[in-house]
Amino acid sequence: MAIWMRKSIWSSQRVSNYLGKVWRLCKALYSLKQAGLSWWHTMTKSMLALGFKRCKSNAGVYYYHDKKTKALVIAIVYVDDVCFMGTKGSLLLNELKQKFMARWECHDLGETTEFLGMHISCDCKNQKIFIDQCEYLEKVLVRFNCKGTTLVLLRLLGRVRIS
C-alpha cells in the first residue's frame, strides 16, 4: 500500500519549487514524531468547521450549543476514538455525526456502552449515567496476582451534579 501526500506548510523552503506535486510517503505515519501534532491540528480544524467549540479545560472535549433549540452536543476525542453525546434521538446529534463521518473515515457504532475501557450505562428515566471500570480492575488484579482478594465497593456521593 502506498501513501501519497501534498507538501506540508511546515516543509522547508528547499522544496517550494515542487508545489502542486505529490510525494510518496516512505515511512509509516505512526513512526513520525510530528504525526500526532499534525493529526490533532487537523482534527481541531475539522471540529471547528463543523461549528464545535473546544473546551478550555480539556483539549479533547468539544461542544456544540444550538442557540435556537438550546440543544447541546458534546464530542470527546481521544487519539482515534470519538464519542458524541446528546439527547437520544436528537436530529442535531445525528446531523453532526453524519457531517463528522463525511469528513473522517469512521462508523457509527450506536449507543455508547464502552469508551476508553470504561463501561457506561444509562438510566434515561431518572436522567442518570453510570460509569465503571470493573473489567479493567479485574485485569489489574489478575496481573498483580490479587484475584482472590476481598473486594470492597465504595460509593461516591449521590447528589454530585456535573454541570
pLDDT-based confidence at residue 149 (cuts at 50, 70, 90): confident
**Angstrom distances, CA of residue 90 to CA of 55, 61, 72:** 22, 19, 10
pLDDT-based confidence at residue 152 (cuts at 50, 70, 90): confident
At residue 58, the pLDDT reads 87
Query: Edge-to-edge strand order for the sheet containing 53-54?
Result: 53-54, 61-65, 72-78, 81-85
The grid cell for 111 is 449507543
Range 72-80, long-range pairs (CB < 8 A, 24+ positions): 75/47, 75/100, 76/115, 77/43, 77/47, 78/116
Mean pLDDT of 91-118: 88
pLDDT-based confidence at residue 133 (cuts at 50, 70, 90): confident
pLDDT single digits (tens) 8-28? 555 555 555 666 667 666 655
pLDDT single digits (tens) 45-71? 999 999 999 999 888 899 999 999 889
pLDDT-based confidence at residue 111 (cuts at 50, 70, 90): confident
Q: How far is CA 128 from the centre of its chain?
A: 22
More confident residue, 12 or 145: 145
Mean pLDDT of 92-116: 88
Residue type at position 97: K
Task: Please give the Cα distance from 92 to 51 (Å, whole number).
Answer: 12
At residue 142, the pLDDT reads 86
Give me the residue label for grid cell 445525528.
94
